[in-house]
């Protein structure tokens, strides 16, 4: 199943098993954690809107033992503030080669790429998505990103899509049998 579904019981068993093994989720920022729009003040100040439920999803991931990271192609003080508020394990801004940045995150955090998920929305995310065990697209992602995704959220970027992925992983981990 490649389409998002809020009823996680309906997800195929292979996807649930993959989600249960995730130890790190990497999120793009603009178009995933935000709706992709930029708001500019008269003084050049940049504003972004982040969904509160996505932030709570980050907390749920951490409580489940899953690390959280973010990669952004842009630089923004709003992103620094939000990532710090959410206690994200690692984040990078100004990423023009997200595959390299993704691999660098894995090395710093000591995570195997077979235990990673990546949530993206645009073609700049494709190189990192190719490396992730679970590539995911937001509902309003570019068609090439949707085509690469193993799963697609039902909600768009900045509208709770990140929370959907968080819930998928947390629910799958809770349903997975404990190791003996």
pLDDT digits (tens, 9 = 90+) for 116-138: 999 999 999 999 999 999 999 99
CATH number at residue 134: 3.40.50.1000
Examine the pLDDT at 7 and tell me if it is beyond 50: no
Confidence of residue 4 (pLDDT cuts 50, 70, 90): very low
Domain tally, the chain: 1
Domain coverage including residue 136: 8-175
Residue 3 lies in a domain: no
- Return binding residues: 28, 30, 121
- The per-residue DSSP string of 4-72 comes to --S-GGGS-HHHHHHHHT--EEEEESTTTTS-S--EE-TTS-EE----HHHHHHHHHHHHTT-EEEEE-
Residue 84 lies in a domain: yes
- Return binding residues for Mg(2+): 28, 121
The whole-number average pLDDT for the span 106-121 is 97
- Return binding residues for substrate: 30
pLDDT tens for 62-91 read: 999 999 999 998 888 888 999 999 999 999
Mean pLDDT (the chain) is 91
Would the CA dihedral through 46, 50, 52, 54 be positive or negative? negative
Residue 1 lies in a domain: no
pTM here? 0.90
């Amino acid at each position: 199943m490649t389409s998002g579904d809020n009823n996680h019981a309906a997800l195929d068993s292979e996807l649930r098993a993959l989600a249960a093994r995730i130890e790190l989720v990497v999120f793009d920022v603009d178009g995933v954690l935000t709706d992709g729009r930029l708001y500019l003040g008269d003084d050049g100040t940049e504003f972004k809107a982040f969904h509160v439920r996505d932030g709570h999803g980050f907390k749920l991931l951490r409580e489940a033992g899953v690390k959280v990271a973010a990669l952004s192609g842009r630089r923004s003080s709003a992103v620094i503030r939000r990532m710090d508020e959410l206690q994200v394990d690692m984040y990078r801004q100004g990423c023009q080669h997200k595959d390299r940045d993704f691999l660098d995150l894995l090395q710093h955090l000591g995570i195997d790429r077979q235990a990673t998920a990546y949530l993206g929305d645009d073609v700049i995310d494709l190189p990192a998505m190719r490396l992730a065990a679970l590539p995911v697209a937001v509902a309003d992602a570019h068609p090439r990103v949707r085509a690469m995704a193993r799963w697609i959220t039902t909600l768009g970027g900045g509208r709770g899509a990140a929370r959907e992925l968080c819930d998928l992983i947390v629910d799958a981990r809770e349903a997975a049998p404990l190791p003996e």
